[in-house]
Structures are given as C-alpha cells and as structure tokens.
Amino acid sequence: MSEHEATTWPEHLQPVADALRERFPQLSIELKPDNWLEVKVDADQSPEFFRYIKEYPGLAFDYLLDVTAVDYINEGKLQVVYHLARLGTDAKKRGKLVVKIDLPRDNPRVRSVVDIWPTANFHEREVYDMFGVVFEGHPDLRRILMREDWVGHPLRKDYVDQRPKRTRVTR
C-alpha cells in the first residue's frame, strides 16, 4: 500500500502518518500487514527523526522493541531496522513503527539512540558485533557475543570463518 492511499489506513494511524509527513515531507511511509507503519529515513536525519517520534505528543513511540540489521550484499548496503511501539492504556492510541536506515557496507555508521531509548544499548552492541555497524555516540560500543579478538562480523553474507576445521570423533 503506498503512502498516498491514506483513506484506507486505520483511523488511529492516520494522525501518525500525517504528523510524520508534515515534519519530514520526503519520507517514504507505508502501511504494512498487522498495521505496522514502515518508514525509511536517511542516516543523517535519524537523530532528529528519532527524537521527534519519541517526544512529539501525538506520536510518543516510547518503547523500542528491537534493533537489528540486514545485509544486502548485492546492493552494497546494510540496513539497520528499528521496531518501535506506542504503549498505553488506550488501545486506540497504540501503534507499531518500523524504521529502516540504509548504510554503505564499507563504512556503516549511524547515530546511536541509547540517549533516547536506553534499551537500545544491548541491541546496538549486538548489531555492531554481528554486522559491524558503528553506532556513533554509543556509551559502550564493544562486542557483546563474540570474543573481543574475533575477526570479522559473522552475520555479514561475505563472512568467512577463519577458525581451523575441527575433526569430529563419533563412537
């Protein structure tokens, strides 16, 4: 569904789409299955965008569910994906948002959101560890799953395991 088909959007999501379009007219906004809004944001615009969706009273996406990444090796990019939600007692005001940011594979850098959603701390560290995305301004950006001396980022599609092959003995 395209961003121009606003009349078919659920009533509670229309004000969200309108507020985003008014503040960021160049954004791509789509309605996805299960009423998720999907927005594509440029990395340089992400700090302003994330602060806006958290603090603007009509939006208030107060809960960061997840931060992950996808390796589009054939397109030469990594895509950082944020899943956010508006919680609260009024079900009519709840909402879900997916934010996607494309980064070049050779230098994937984006501003950290830990100062906005502290729960991003471990999520960003995992994406850094597995994909090599540098979250600028992160308070403790270091590996979280792999050893500190590990070479490479295991979830990149061009990753080659450098460990020696093990021989398995079965009895």
Q: What is the pLDDT of residue 1?
A: 43
Q: What is the pLDDT of residue 87?
A: 85
Strand order in the sheet with 36-40: 28-32, 36-40, 95-104, 77-86, 63-72
Q: What is the pLDDT of residue 6?
A: 44
Asked whether the predicted pLDDT for residue 169 surpasses 60, the reply is yes
Strand partners, 107: none
Q: What is the pLDDT of residue 120?
A: 98
Q: What is the pLDDT of residue 34?
A: 83
Asked whether the predicted pLDDT for residue 68 surpasses 80, the reply is yes
Q: What is the pLDDT of residue 142?
A: 96
Q: What is the pLDDT of residue 158?
A: 94
Cβ-count burial 49-74 (b if 16+ within 10 Å, e if not)? bbeebbeeeebbbeebeebebebeee
Q: What is the pTM of this model?
A: 0.88
State the CATH architecture for 6-136. Answer: 2-Layer Sandwich (3.30)
Asked whether the predicted pLDDT for residue 89 surpasses 90, the reply is no
Strand partners, 80: 69, 101
Minimum mean pLDDT range among 43-57, 84-98, 104-118, 141-155:
84-98
What is the rounded distance in angstroms from the CA atom of residue 139 to the CA atom of residue 45? 21
Pairing of β 95-104 and β 77-86: antiparallel
Q: What is the pLDDT of residue 91?
A: 66
Please choose, from the candidates 92, 85, 69, the residue with its C-alpha nearest in 3D space to the C-alpha of residue 36.
85
- Six-digit token string for 165: 């092959």
Whether the CB-CB separation of 135 and 112 falls below 8 Å is answered with: yes
Whether the CB-CB separation of 29 and 38 falls below 8 Å is answered with: yes
Q: What is the pLDDT of residue 2?
A: 46
In sequence order, what are the residues at sequence separation of 6 or more whose Cβ sits closer than 8 angstroms to the Cβ of residue 9? 17, 31
| Residue at 125: amino acid letter | R
Residues above pLDDT 90, as percent of the chain: 71
Q: What is the mean pLDDT of the chain?
A: 90
Q: What is the pLDDT of residues 119-143, one digit of tens each?
A: 999 999 999 999 999 999 999 999 9
What is the rounded distance in angstroms from the CA atom of residue 46 to the CA atom of residue 28? 14
Asked whether the predicted pLDDT for residue 156 surpasses 60, the reply is yes
